Structure 1
Amino acid sequence: METYRIITLDFLTLGHHSPITTHQSPLTTHDPPVTMPKALWKRTKKEICTPYEALAQIYDFVMRHVPYQEWTTYVEKILRKFDLRDPKILDLACGTGTLTLELTARGYKASGADSAPEMLRIARKKAESCSSSVTFFEMDLRTVQGVPTYDVVLCLYDSINYLLSLRDVASALAGISDLLLPGGLFIFDVCTENNSLKYFRDFTECEHGDGFSYTRHSFYRPRDRMQINEFEIRFDDRPGRWNETHRQKIYSSNEILSVIEASPLEMLRMYDDSSFRPATDNSDRIHFVLRKPPLTSS
C-alpha cells in the first residue's frame, strides 16, 4: 500500500516567472540523483513529515527559472541609489541560499536565515561546495529578534506573502527594525492580486527531474485573497508520495502601507517589479524599500 504524507508549508517562495531575462546562476548547483533523508525512510504510515523535508530536496530544480543573478544586480542598484557602501547584509527567508551565495560571490558580507532546517542544510552544503564561509542560521519571519547588526535586510521573492495576517507582517517589521543599524534598509517584495489573476487562477505543471517527479496545481481564492499551491512529490528510490499545500496571502498596497506606517521603519520607495518605475495598480510584483531612521544629533 502506498504511503501518503501531507505537509503544510508557510514560508516557501513560489512566485511567477520574473520578466527579467532568465539564465542559470553558476552558484545554483545540480546535485546527483535525489535521495530521501534517512529520517524520512523511518517514517510510519500515519506520521506527518516536518515541513520542507521532502520539498527541500527538489527546491532548486523547481525554482531553476528564477534569475538570481539579475535579482542580485537589482538589489545592488538599490543599494547604490541609496548610497549604501560595503553593507553587511542579512538575506531573510533565504531558502537554499542561492541569492545569499551570489551576494558573497560579489564581495558582500552576507548571511542567510530561514525557518526550515532542511532548506538550511542544503544551503550549507552548497556553501561548502563552493568554498564559501557564509553563515546560515534558523529564524522565523514571525518572531525575528536580535540586536542592531545589519546595514541591509532582504526578504525577497514574495516571502512576505507567506505571512498570513497583517499582525504577522507587523511583527516581522518590528523585529527586522531591531536587526537594522540606524539608517539601514529593509528591501522586500510582494506579489499582487493582479499576478494571481493573470498567472495562477488555474495553473498546473508536471515535471520529472533526476530521481523524482512532481505535480503542481495553483489556484487563487478571491473571497479571502489566498493563493494556493498544491504539490505532489514522488521519489524514485522511495515508494509513496508527499502532498504539500502552500498558502500565500495577497495583500493590497494600502494594507502593506498601513502596516509600514505603524512600524518603526519609514517608507522610501515602492517600485514596479524589478524596475525603478513607481508601482501601480497594474503591477504584478512590488518592491518596497524601507529605512530605519538614522540617529539624529542632539
Structure 2
Amino acid sequence: MSYEQFAYYYDQLMADVPYENWLYYVERIYKEYQHSGKRILDVGCGTGALSIQLAQENFNVTGIDLSEDMLTVARSKAEHKGLHIPLFQQDMSSMIGLGEFDTIVIFCDSLNYLRTEEEVKRTFKGMYDHLREGGLLLFDVHSTYKIEHLFVGQTYGGSDPQLSYLWQCFEGEHLNSVEHELTFFSKRNDGTYDRFDELHFQRTFPIEQYEQWLRELDFEILEITGDFLDTSPSPGTERVFFAAEKR
C-alpha cells in the first residue's frame, strides 16, 4: 500500500519518531563489525527523514519508495538542505538497475507492508543482488507480539489545531497481519475541515522465518536485537532488528 494524501501530513504525524535511533544503530553496526563503505540504499525511504540524516553524516545515499507523493516531499526536503539524494519510485519486491551498494537499510517496519512470503523472499533476493560482497543488510520488523497485542483490536487517535486523526486496527486475513484504517481531518484556513481516509496493511513473520530466508540466500546473520537495544529480543519486544552480511 502506498501513501497518498497521508504523505503530505506524514512528518507532522511522525514528529516524535526517533529517527536518530536508526542512525545510531547504523553507526553502531558499522563500528562493531568494522564495516566500511559509504554507499547506502535506503529502501522505503518515505519523506527522507533518515536518508537526510545519513547524507549529513557523509554517506552516499540513494532512496527508493513506492509512493511518488512521499518522494516528492523527500526531494523538497533534501533540496532545502542543499543535499543531492537520488530518489527513485520502485517497489522493494522488484528492485532493478540501482547499482551496487555497501549497505542496504529497510527501517521503520517498511518490510511489513509486503503481503506475501514470496514478496518478502523476492525483496531479500533483490537486496542480495544489489549488495557488494561483504555488504550489509540492516532492517527492522514488527514483532508478532506487537501485531497481536498492540495493534489488533486497538484504536488510537490524536489532534492538534490543524490536524486530527483516528487510527483503528483490525485483524488481517493472514496470520500475524493487521489492517490499519486511518481517518484524517485537516483544517482549512476558513475553519472547515477536509477529511481523507486511507487503508494500510502490514504483516510480519516469526524471527525464525526471517532467519531461514536470509540463510537460504547465503546471508550471514551478524545479530538479531530488539527495540534499538544491543540485546536479544525478549517476549515483549515490539521491534526486531536484523543485521546480515552478504557472503
Q: Same fold (TM over 0.5)?
A: yes
Distance in 1 (CA, whole Å) between partners of 2:241 and 2:137 is: 10
Q: Which amino acid aligns with 1:191?
A: H
1:126-165 matched pairs, under 5 angstroms: 126-146=77-97, 148-165=99-116
| Residue of structure 2 aligned with 1:250, choices 194, 204, 207 | 204
User: Are the counterparts in 2 of residues 174 and 264 from structure 1 also a CA contact under 8 Å?
Assistant: no
Distance in 2 (CA, whole Å) between partners of 1:92 and 1:122 is: 16
RMSD: 2.0
User: Are the counterparts in 2 of residues 61 and 209 from structure 1 also a CA contact under 8 Å?
Assistant: no
How far 1:202 moved relative to its partner? 3.1
How far 1:267 moved relative to its partner? 2.1
Structure 1 residue matching 2:154: 3-state secondary structure: strand
Quickly say closer, same or farther: Cα 1:52–1:223, change in 2 above 3 A. closer
Partner of 1:197: 148
Distance in 1 (CA, whole Å) between partners of 2:70 and 2:29 is: 27
Q: Which amino acid aligns with 2:197?
A: N
Number of aligned residues: 244
How far 1:107 moved relative to its partner? 1.7
Partner of 2:223: 269
Structure 1 residue matching 2:158: 3-state secondary structure: strand
Could you list the per-position Cα deviations for residues 5-48 of structure 1 after superposition, in whole angstroms to 9, with x for gaps in the alignment?
xxxxx2xxxxxxxxxxxxxxxxxxxxxxxxxxxxxxxxxxxxxx
Q: Which has the larger radius of gyration?
A: 1
Identity of aligned residues (%): 27
Name structure 1 gaps, 5 residues minimum: 1-9, 11-50, 294-298
Partner of 2:56: 105
Structure 1 residue matching 2:196: 3-state secondary structure: strand
Q: Which amino acid aligns with 2:45?
A: C
More displaced 10-residue stretch of structure 1: 220-229 or 78-87: 220-229
The structure whose residues are more often helix, as a share, is 2
| Residue of structure 2 aligned with 1:173, choices 124, 127, 141 | 124
How far 1:222 moved relative to its partner? 8.6
The yes-or-no answer on 1:241 pairing with 2:195 is: yes
More displaced 10-residue stretch of structure 1: 167-176 or 102-111: 102-111
More displaced 10-residue stretch of structure 1: 126-135 or 93-102: 126-135
Distance in 1 (CA, whole Å) between partners of 2:147 and 2:36 is: 36
1:48-87 matched pairs, under 5 angstroms: 51-87=2-38
